[in-house]
Every structure is written in C-alpha cells, then in structure tokens.
Amino acid sequence: MGAAALTRARPALSEAAKPLAATYQVGLVDLDGVVCWGERPVPHAAAALSRACSAGMRPLFVTNNASRTPAEVVRLLQGVGLAATERDVVTAAQAAARLVASLVPPRSRILVIGGPAMEQALREENLTPVRSAEDAPRAVVQGLSPEVDWCQLAEGGYAVARGLPWVVSNMDPAVPRDRGIAPGNGAMASVIRIVTGREPLVAGKPEHALYQEALRRHGGGQALSIGDRLDTDIAGAGRLGIDSMLVLTGVTSVEDLIAAPPRHRPTYVAADLRGLLQAHPAVRRASDGWHCARWTAAVAAGEITLRPTPAAAFDMNAVRAICCAAWAAQDAGHTVSVADDMREALSRLTSTW
C-alpha cells in the first residue's frame, strides 16, 4: 500500500508478504519506549534490530528526546547491545537548533530551557546559548532535561512574553522511563504556554523538521517509521508519506490503538521490534467481520466481538482484526467499546514487560 494513504482514513492495516526488514531499506527508530525505557533495554529490541540490519535495513535512531547529545545516545545504544555511530542518531535538539538557526542571524544569542545537549546543538549551528532573559537573546529554545526547574521556566517565560521566537524540541506530554511514565517536554512547555498565551514552533515529531533531518541523512531507499506513540511517531510519518510500525512497548496501549483516529493509524502493528523480522498477514473484510489468520472481529451494538473467544492464545493477529473492525465502525460514525473479558485478554499481551 502506498504510504500516502496514512493521511486518509485507514480502515485496515497493510499486508507485508516478506519481513519488514527485507522490505524497507531504512528504519527511523524511536528510542524511548521502543529500544529502551530510560537506561533499561526493552526486551528483544537489540537482538531484533541487529537481525534487521543483517536482513538489509539500516536503522537511524530518531528521537524526540532532547536531553542527550548524539554521543550520549550512542553510548546508550552500545550499552543495550547495539552498534551505532553519531551519524546514526538524529535528535530533536539538533532539529530544534537547525530550526532556530533559520529564524535568526548567525552567532545570535539563544535562551536555552534545557540541558547541555541543547547547548551543544546550538553551538553546532553557530549560535550562542545563554541562560537569562536579560542576556539579549534573539530567540528561545526548549528541550527536555532533568535540569529544567522553576528558574529556567521563569526565564523562558519572561523572554517568550516579549514576543521572541520560541522553538520547542517536541510537545510529548509524557516519556517512558524505567520506573514508569514521567512528564515530557510538552508538559514543561505547557507551563510557558499557559503563562504567556503564546504557541511554540515545534521541531520534533510529528512536525517536519526532525523527519526532514533524518531523511536528509539516510541516503535513499524506502523508509519505515517505528515508534510507540500514535500522535508523534505514527502521525508524523503519515504527514510525510512514510509507512509506519507501532510497537506496544511504550506509551500506547492496545485500547489506545483501537480508538485511534484516522491520522494516528499505523501501517503495521507489532508487540515489539521483533515485528520487523516477520511478515504481516492480511486483514480482510467479509460479511461476518474482519479476518486475520484464525481470528474474526466484528462490532455489534457498539461492542467488539471476537471469534474464537479470547483465551491464553490471544495474539497480535487478534489485535489486527480487532483494530480493523473498530476503525471501520468508528469511520461509519459508531461508538466502539471493549468488553471486560477482551480488555483482560488484551492486557496479557504486554503483562510480561
């Protein structure tokens, strides 16, 4: 299926007769929730990516996280068992710095809300990072960092309220960490947005700047965006006409996927990165519902039904059938709900993570 279909209603997931790693030459791989949770590796991720490389797919690690420099990302990847260089890493800090550089003269002072990774990215674009609204900045740039506190947010608020250009690395409200879900850059940026009434320019996913930087580097071939977020990884890929694969190791649950509006629906869905090593079966519509392998899903009186009855053998093909049935019903104007027994069966898919 053509990737441009992602910008329209997607009532069905796409079929891939061959493993995705043998179909796509480049994988635009998100980090948090896909490869790692903070510093902890996601199970199967490193081994799956290594095998995908052997099958011919080159991974580019494209992250909305602006708290790490490319060198730090490389060390993280090496720590979870992946070989990578800085050329394999594209960060939202780099995309934000490049966007700021397009708005101001060279060597301009830029107020930073963030950490050393954002400062380094600005210097690489021939810009000068500063930390106070009284340092005559020409713009404000904001990225996630554990160092961001009230003082940084206040300085940013003072400068943004004066009407300076304001660029943020991304608007992700949350970020997966090894202890759970933590506030993301979007949550921090919302503080300044509420205080000033201003809207930022966004560099990271789902906006174009980060993807364009990645596509500029990847050297040709068909690309697949791989991520755990519907509203960034999947929506951003759709805007640029890139196919996508959602993995369920991050912030998106199966129930979130079932409820996805058209612009957030992926081309493929997998439990984890092992989905790159698999063919993806067709999901076909018939008079009695949507069929995928041995499963048939339908919507009756607003509730999803599945045959055979969900049990211990519940698998991703069941999820594929359920999603397509739910999406088609939603596109026809129906409200769709998930019964308790199905919700319990769905939760077992990710309970071991």
- Is 243 one of the annotated active-site residues of the chain? no
From 30, 88, 228, 243, active-site residue: 30
**CB-CB contact of 68 with 41 (8 Å):** no
**CB-CB contact of 186 with 171 (8 Å):** yes
**Phi-psi region at 219: left, alpha or beta (left = phi > 0; alpha = psi -120 to 50):** left
176 prior amide bond cis, ω within 30: no
DSSP secondary structure string for all residues of 240-301: TT-EEEEESSSS--HHHHHT--GGG--SEEESSGGGGGS-B---EEETTEEEETTEEEEEET
Query: Hey, which bits of 35-138 come out as E strands?
Result: 36-37, 40-41, 58-63, 89-91, 109-113, 128-130
- Is 228 one of the annotated active-site residues of the chain? no
From 32, 88, 172, 233, active-site residue: 32
Q: 119-153 burial, b for 16+ CB within 10 Å, e for fewer?
A: bbbbeebebebbeebeeebbbbbbbbbeebeeebb
Q: Which residues are catalytic?
A: 30, 32
